[in-house]
Amino acid sequence: MDIKKQKYLKQTTCETYQYSIIIPTFNSKESLLLLLDSIIASKDRQRFEIIVVDDASTDQTCQAIANYPVRLIVSDKNRGSAHARNTGAFSAQTPYLIFFDADVVLQSNTLDLLIKSIKDQPKNHVYMGIYSEIPAKKNLISEYKALLDANHWKKIKSLQVTSFEPRCAIMRKSLFDQSGGFDDRISGADVEDYELGYRLLDLNARLFVNPSIRVNHHFPMSFKQLLLTMFCRTKSWMQLFLKRKKFDNVASTPESALACGISGLSGLLIPAVGFHNDVRVGFFCLICLFIFLFSDFIIHIFRTKGWWTGSKMFVLHYMICICVFWGAMAGLFNIIMTKDVIKSVISMDCH
């Protein structure tokens, strides 16, 4: 047995399930309960084994789900979502793995559509759902994020994509085992999903999104948390990008990179806008170009949310794009510095 897989495995009771649902959780008790309720309410519940991996939560998650029909695995310390998903997936004994994040709620047909999507398909196929435009919990941040994510999928030219989305996905366990699972050196909720997706592509797997398969997401973040998350994820993703030298065909696209670059440059001009006319003209031109590149999304939020909420979402989107730009710059700087350090060490060794 592969050493990496072996460290996750625990003795389990063999059941006649066909699918294993893998849910990593860390201090998300309230949303987890809603997710479990939505799974139990789904059609043919008896076909699914539910594996919850508690990543050393401190919010009494274990006690809260004690009466639910789940197999609970508790980590002795917090190791991140990659390790938690691996723990659940490698310990599963069914032919298929279904992944959900702990902060989503299933729609009545989510599980049924996931199963139908992979039925009779080649063994190297992976299928994923998307977030609904209606979040599980409504506020400015959650509604903005739900609209933005749904907008990404409206623009895709092919249902075959280049990124893996474990928030709502199904694949054969044999394919997951072949991939070696998530890279558990990636801590927290970072780019472990992208990284696994790229390795799946290297194994000639084909990743498909089905926009009719939907879950409602809580998006449990404050504005500050959202900015920090976007910065950190972009910083990490940039390092993956520099290794692959390829953009994704959803979300992390060349067009999005250009728009974020424009927002970042315009942000640099803001402090001087009130002092020089040429700067004001330059800033105005960059903002117009930014609006043009995101015109479909901006029009959609104004049509959907009205002028007042739409205006707030536009400003929010602009600020997040600036944050993404600086996250990318931080990732690039980190790679450059790492290479410089390696060169310095090699140079010292040679002397």
Contact 295, 317 (CB under 8 A): no
Residue pair 233/188 in contact by the 8 Å Cβ criterion: no
Structure tokens that stand for 171 in this block: 């694949």
Residue 288 has pLDDT above 90, yes or no: yes
Residue with tokens 């926009």: 211
Can you give the pTM of this predicted structure?
Answer: 0.88
Residue 239: count other Cβ atoms within 10 Å of its Cβ: 16
8-16, long-range: CB < 8 A, 24+ apart: 8/86, 8/87, 8/89, 8/90, 8/91, 8/181, 9/90, 9/91, 10/73, 10/91, 12/71, 12/91, 12/93, 14/93, 15/49, 15/93
d(CA 249, CA 158): 9
Which tokens is 78 given? 């917090």
Determine the Cα–Cα distance for residues 201 and 254; give it in Å rounded to an integer: 19
- Are 37 and 9 in contact by the 8 Å Cβ rule? The answer is no
Sign of the C-alpha dihedral computed for residues 187, 167, 257 and 140 taken in this order = negative
pLDDT digits (tens, 9 = 90+) for 30-69: 999 999 999 999 877 778 999 999 999 999 999 999 999 9
What are the pLDDT digits (tens) for 167-211?
A: 999 999 999 999 999 998 887 667 899 999 999 999 999 999 999
Query: Which run of H or of E encompasses 130?
Result: strand 125-131
pLDDT value, residue 9: 53
Is residue 239 predicted with pLDDT exceeding 80?
A: yes
293-351 confidence digits (pLDDT tens): 999 999 999 999 999 999 999 999 999 999 999 999 998 888 887 654 444 433 444 44
At 97-107, the pLDDT tens digits run 999 999 999 99
Average of per-residue pLDDT values in the chain: 87
Q: Which residue has the tokens 């029909």?
A: 69
Strand partners, 168: 100
Map out the domains of the chain with their CATH numbers: 3-220 (3.90.550.10), 254-350 (no CATH)
Q: What is the CA radius of gyration of the chain?
A: 22
